[in-house]
Structures are given as structure tokens and as C-alpha cells.
Structure 1
Amino acid sequence: MATHRDLSIGVVGGGIGGLSAALSLLAAGFDVQVYERASALGEIGAGLQVSPNATRILHGLGLEKELAETGVRPRALLQRRWEDGRTLLDTPQGDRLEAAFGFPYYQMRRADLLAALAAAIPPERLHLGRRLTGLDQNHDVVRAEFADGSSADVDVLVGADGIHSFVQGELFGAERPRFTGCVAYRGLIPSDRLSHLSLEVTTQVWLGPGRHFVHYFVGGGRFLNFVAVVEQDTWTRESWTDRGDVADALAAYDGWHPQVSAILGTVEETYVWALFDRPPLPRWSQGRVTLLGDACHPMLPFMAQGAAQSIEDGAALAACLAENPGDPAEALQRYERIRRPRAGHIQSLSLENKTRFHLPDGPGQQARDAAMADGATNLSMNAITAIYGHDATLLPAL
């Protein structure tokens, strides 16, 4: 009978999903190697939110101290009206959320979380500059071939290589992600530039016709992360992420509440990021190869669950392989059966929020606001319980 240490696992991709999966697999006792195409680790985007369903896993991997040092614990999530600033929904976070779910909610710089994950990986297991160019598998082994001419034979290969996933294309055929009709201006602002606004330590989501605006503190409170999402018919830039024009962002929010324009007025540099997704895949796995994170369920960031779901994927994958190391292909099928419905559901909730956040003023918007006042939206305390209370390390009974 195969044991954990007999099983070698290659993880393709050194982002948050790939590194957290590698740590979960290492903690389960597997022989893990990570292959990242870039010569240095990096993450697209400035900030992210790490909800209790993810901090539960990260604490279990020994990163509690690192999260506390670099994360910010917001008091609440506020959803506000674009013009008058009225609070439509106040969802508790902070101590109340931790008491409800047992683990904290953090706002963080992506770079801080990535650095914490990378520091926990033994350096000899992290291989940079290794771009995957081919893979081949038989009943017993997967061979990964890289652009530098090297190769690796592993028992299991995990594609954590993002929305452009090479592994996904090799398994099921290349499929171009779809432009969702939204672009996001994003960046970080030193907090001292905003001291005159006396901003609360909250996540604030401003809802308005055809766009929304998000801001929250990161980096231990040293920076304010902002994301300004605007509907746009087409995307013509060659890069998915490029320098944006601050004047364009200001113009897009002309007439909005003074707090929004005041925040944007302090911005010196912004990047613009096209938001892409893909319909849920019918399959994630083939033989001894599987996918996780954006490689199989890229989602809009409107539930703040993209990173959390990739972290859940890695924990569930490790648990499935630990349960059945003697039959990796069946373990991957079990992983897929467990994870695909949950990730697909959260994908759909994220897509629904694109419509809900951007309603034009009128009857639909008024009905939305009334539902929010009743706590009936998917970011209310009642609605998020199924997301935040989930423990991906616990597998359902066979």
C-alpha cells in the first residue's frame, strides 16, 4: 500500500493558490515540488480579503503570526449608496465575525500573503523560471517538460497556473477566458495622505449605476487599497493589466459622494485591470492531473472569495490524497466532486453581484436596497455563514 511519502506531487504555479496547496500537501506528508514560470514571485492586484474559511486553513499551516502582523481586521463591511453615502448594509466583521466562525477576517496586501506563504516553503522545493511547455501521463507517472529543457516525473501534477492555465489547455483544450464587461482601476495610497478623511477601519463598497468603488486598509494600516470597477463594452489593450490614467478614474466617478472623489483625488498612480472569467468547467481532472484556483474556477472579485477558494482547493486536495494515497486518480476525482459544486456556486454569486452592485437608480435599485435593509443579500451575515463557516479540510463521508 502506498504511503504519503511515496507520492511525489508537482504543483505548477507559484501564486497564492499554488503555494498554499503546496503547504497543505507538505503538511500532509507528501513530497512536493513547486514550478513557477516567472523568475520572481509576484501577484496581480494590490489587496485582497482573507475570510475565516481561508484563515482557518492558513492558521493550521502555521501562518497565524504572519497574518496578524501584516493583516488588518476591519470592524465591518459597509455597502453604501453612490450619491448620498447612505449605508445600505452593515455586516459585522472584527471580533463579532471571529466569535461566530472561530477565525479572523483580514484585509491584506497580496504581496504580504504571498511572501508569508513563500517563506514557509523549503527553498529547495520552489523552482523559479520553470515554464511548463508539455505534459504526458500514463497509468503510473506524469512527466512535466519545461522551456529550459528540464523535465520532472511526478505521481500527481496540479495545475495552479491561473486563468491562462497551460495545464487546463493540455487536459481539455485551450479556451479563451471571456471579458466580463468590467475594468478595474486599482492601487495603494499611503494612509497619511488620507488622514483628513478620518476613514474607519472598514471594508466599504459604494454601489452606483454601472460601476462600484471599494476601499479598505492593508499593510498593517499603512496603505488604503482601492478598486474602482467600471462597466466597459470592450477591452482593447494588449496587456490584461496596465498603467491607468487617474483622470479617467476621476471622470468615471464624477458626481459621486465627496468621500469617493477625495480618495481618488489623492491617487498618484493607478493600474487598470480587465476582469475576465470562464464558465464553470465540467471537469477538473484527468488521470493523475488536476486543476485548482483560477485554472478551473476564475471568478469576479465581487464576493472577495477568489483567493479563499483557491486556498480551500489546496486543503481539500491534500485531504483527498491523504485519504487515498494508493489511488491518486480516484483521489483527484473525489477532490473534484467535493470542490466543483462549491466553487461553481460562489462563481455564480460573484457574477450576480456584478448586476446587483451596478443597478441604475430606479425600481430595481430600490428593491435591492430594501432587500439589503432586511439582510437578504449574499453579503449579509446570514447569507455568508455557508461560506465563512466551511472547513475544507474535513471531507464528507464516502
Structure 2
Amino acid sequence: MLIGQNIAVLGAGVAGLATARALAMRGAQVTVYEKSPEITEVGAGLQITPNGVVVLRALGFDPAAHAMRSSGVRLIDGYMGAQILHLDFAKYKPDSDFLLFHRADLIDMLHEGARESGVRIALSHAVEDIHGDADGVTLNFAGGGEARHDIVIGADGLHSKLRPMLNGPAKPFFTGQTAWRATVPALGGEDAAAMVHIAAGRHVVSYPLRGGTLINIVAVEEREDWVEEGWHHTGDPTEMMTHFSNFCPGVKALLSRVESVSRWGLFRHPVATLWHSERTALVGDAAHPTLPFLAQGANMALEDAWVLSDCIANLPLDQALPAYQARRRARVVKVIEAANANARNYHLKGASRFIGHAGLRLAGRVAGKRMVDKFAWLYDHDVTAQ
């Protein structure tokens, strides 16, 4: 049912490019509208877990050729540097791919794949208005000009133009947490795992990228004096160091090598009530932004892309878009709730911290496989097999 359909995708991020590729592979004529003059990404890392990897493979990519394989996740006491829990993917899930991607490499792969599928990409096209009727959807662009499409997909992130048209304005609330993001050259020999150093009210995540030549860093702290949302606010490395000065020597040595850092406030958005109209739909962060404490933002976008294109390809449009929301909403709500729980658990204080860490240490020693299997509902889920 997609053959010959003229579809617009708003946004050339992970969600938009994956959706464009998935639709074009099924016969749609797809145009991606990106407001920026070029497709670029900040130097940052992403963890693509098996539920996202299966989508990339179904889209015809070899994702492991563009990323590092992760051996697992290590929770570490941020003050003492002692391991609390090791989720050992290499041992307990040896046939599953947990990949550490540089965000720019993932975008480049998806961009090339979209173009190879015949997707047209229109840069410097900021959408100002969207008007739908029974026969199609008209896009009006900043600076003049318009385009007409059969279907429009909003993959335009936190500040989506389409989402408020479907749901009305929504005001996100500040979580009381801000994050610092940076990359530094690797020293060599670093563990190919996500290292999560946790302390009272703070944590630092680090893992290697690009064959172990870079280390990705995300440092999160609780504080109230923040009002801006977004990823690209410039931070001061010296200030970052002062906020994590009581961490163990290994973390302080890592942070001391940071020369430039970005900073952003973490805001919680509600999951959209409506993900679609008669001829429009939302994917990725435009529908369901998530906090970064389960590394699932990009993975949920990839799952959305596959399910939406699958629904439109196999059902009449008036059934396809409701079916897409029905197949996706409960899962993303569960993922978001799990990410919110991690945000709390990483930052435990006082007696709760002591008891929680002791419990994790014991569980890791006596039931390591069971601790990994607790996430089977997330990592083993395969939307391409449904």
C-alpha cells in the first residue's frame, strides 16, 4: 500500500532518516525536510542495544561495521571506585549485539542508506505551518514556499511542529538534573563497556567509541538553577570538574582531560496522547521523549520507524496509524518508566544508598545471569518479527 505514496518526513535525525529508509524500501516516494543547512551531529556517543540492532539489520545495514561491540555495563561506586554490579553481556548474552556508536557515524550510515533508497533530502527547510485535509497535507516553510504530500511524519524531536497541532501545547518540567557531555581521546586499553560511576546526587557514564580511540562522557548532577532545554549549551570544563571533585581518582583523571564540554538540562515530557491524525504521525522524541538513563532514545526511534512503515505498508491508512500507536505506546511508556527509575537509583543517598548497593553486590555475585535477564523484555524484543 506504500507504492507510489508521496510522504514527507520532518527532521533528519535518527528517527527521521530511519523512518525515511523504512518507507522508501517499501515503495514510498519520500522527502526529508531538515531545517539545518547540513546534516551534522555533535561528537557524542549512543548505545544501540539488540532491539535497535535488529531494526538496523532489517533496514539493510551492517551496524557492527560502524560501531564497537559493548561487553556490558559496570555499576561502580563513584567515591571508592569499587565495582557494585557487572551486567556481563559478553558472558550471558554472547549472541546479542550491544553496540557503542558515535552519533555522527550512525547518522552518516542512515543518511547514506536513505539516499540509496531514493529518499530526497531538502536542507534549510524549516516548517512553519502544517495544514491537513481529506486528500493530503500541505507544508508551509519559513521564508516562503510550500509542499503537498499524502502523509507527513513528524520526526522533529522535542520541539516538534506537529506534536502540539495534534495534542495542544505541553509544558515539560525540569527534573532537577543537568548533564555534561564530552569526548576525549582514549589512552588505550579501556574496557569496552559502559562504566557508570554512581554517587549521591551524581553519576558519570563513560564508554569507548570508534575502535577505542575516543571515550564518551556524560556526567549528570542534581541542581535546581537551570531553565533551558537543549543539548548544545557550551559548558566550562573547570566548572564541571568542581562539581565532581569528590569522585574517585579514575573519574577525576578522565574529566581532567576534557577540553570542551556541552551541557543541558534534563526535562521530563509526557508521552503524547495522540500520535497521529488522519494523514500525519509522530515518531521518536516527538511522540515520547525519554531521559537518557536507559540508553533507549535512539532505540525507541528505530523501533517506531519500523513499526510505522510496517503498519502503513500492510493496512489502509485509516487503520494503519491507529495500529501504529496501539503497537508502540505501552512499550515506550514502560521504557520511560524504567529510565526514570534509573535516574532515582543512580543517585541514592544515605542509608538507601548503602542498602541498595549492598543488595546489588549480593545479586551480582549469586545471580549474575538473572540480573542480565531482568532486561530481556527490553533487549530481546524484535519489532521486525511481529
Give the structure-1-normalised TM-score. Answer: 0.90
- Partner residue of 1:305 out of 281, 296, 300: 296
Structure 1 segments unaligned to the other structure (5+ residues)? none
Is structure 2 residue 96 aligned with structure 1 residue 107? no
User: AA paired with 1:358?
Assistant: H
Once the 2 structures are TM-superposed, how far is the Cα of residue 238 of structure 1 from its aligned partner? 8.3
- Check the 8 A contact 2:182/2:260 in 1, yes or no: yes
Q: 1:239 and 1:76 mapped to 2: Cα distance?
A: 29
> How is 1:369-384 mapped onto 2 (pairs within 5 angstroms)?
369-371=358-360, 373-374=362-363, 380-384=371-375
2:10 aligned residue = 12
Return closer, same or farther for 1:394/1:9 CA change in 2, 3 Å cut-off.
farther
The alpha-carbon deviation at position 124 of structure 1 amounts to: 5.8
Going from structure 1 to structure 2, the CA distance change for 1:98 and 1:26 (only over 3 Å counts) comes to farther
Kept in 2, the 8 Å contact 1:142–1:154? The answer is yes
Runs of 4+ displaced beyond 3 Å: 236-240
Classify 1:92/1:13 alpha carbon distance in 2 versus 1 (closer, same or farther; 3 Å): same
| Matching of residues 305-384 of structure 1 within 5 Å | 305-324=296-315, 327-371=316-360, 373-374=362-363, 380-384=371-375
Among 24, 32, 35, the residue aligned to 1:34: 32
Letter of the aligned partner of 1:216 in structure 2?
Y
Q: CA deviation at 1:302?
A: 0.2
Q: What runs of 5+ residues in structure 2 fail to find an aligned partner?
A: none
Aligned identity (percent) is 32
> Is residue 288 of structure 2 the alignment partner of residue 288 of structure 1?
no
Q: Within 2, Cα distance between the matches of 1:121 and 1:76?
A: 31
Residue 167 of structure 2 corresponds to residue 172 of structure 1:
yes
Say whether the 8 Å CA contact 1:159–1:289 is kept in structure 2. Answer: yes
Cα distance, 1:95 vs. partner?
A: 7.0
Q: Which of residues 135, 153, 156 in structure 2 aligns to 1:158?
A: 153
Which whole-Å CA distance do the structure 1 matches of 2:135 and 2:41 have between them? 34
Check the 8 A contact 1:180/1:275 in 2, yes or no. Answer: yes
Q: How many residues align?
A: 381
Deviates more, 1:109-118 or 1:74-83: 74-83
Which of 47, 50, 55 pairs up with 2:48? Answer: 50
- Residue equivalent to 1:87: 83
Out of 270-279 and 201-210, give the one that drifted further: 270-279
Q: Which residue of 2 aligns with 1:209?
A: 200
Following superposition, the deviation at residue 277 of structure 1 comes to 2.5
Structure 2 Cα separation of the partners of residues 166 and 172 of structure 1: 11
Conserved 8 A contact 2:2-2:23 = no
TM-score of the superposition, structure 2-length normalised? 0.93
RMSD: 2.0
Mapping for residues 258-297 of structure 1, pairs under 5 Å: 258-297=249-288
SS of corresponding position for 1:38: coil
| CA-CA distance at 1:174 after TM superposition | 2.2
The Cα of 1:96 is off from its aligned counterpart by 4.8
Question: Which of the numbers 110, 113, 120 marks the counterpart of 1:120?
Answer: 113
- Kindly provide the CA deviation profile for residues 249-294 of structure 1, in whole angstroms up to 9, marking residues without a partner as x: 1111122111101101111111112222302222211111110101
The one-letter code sitting in structure 2 at the alignment partner of 1:363 is S
Q: Is the 8 A contact 1:98 1:105 kept in 2?
A: no
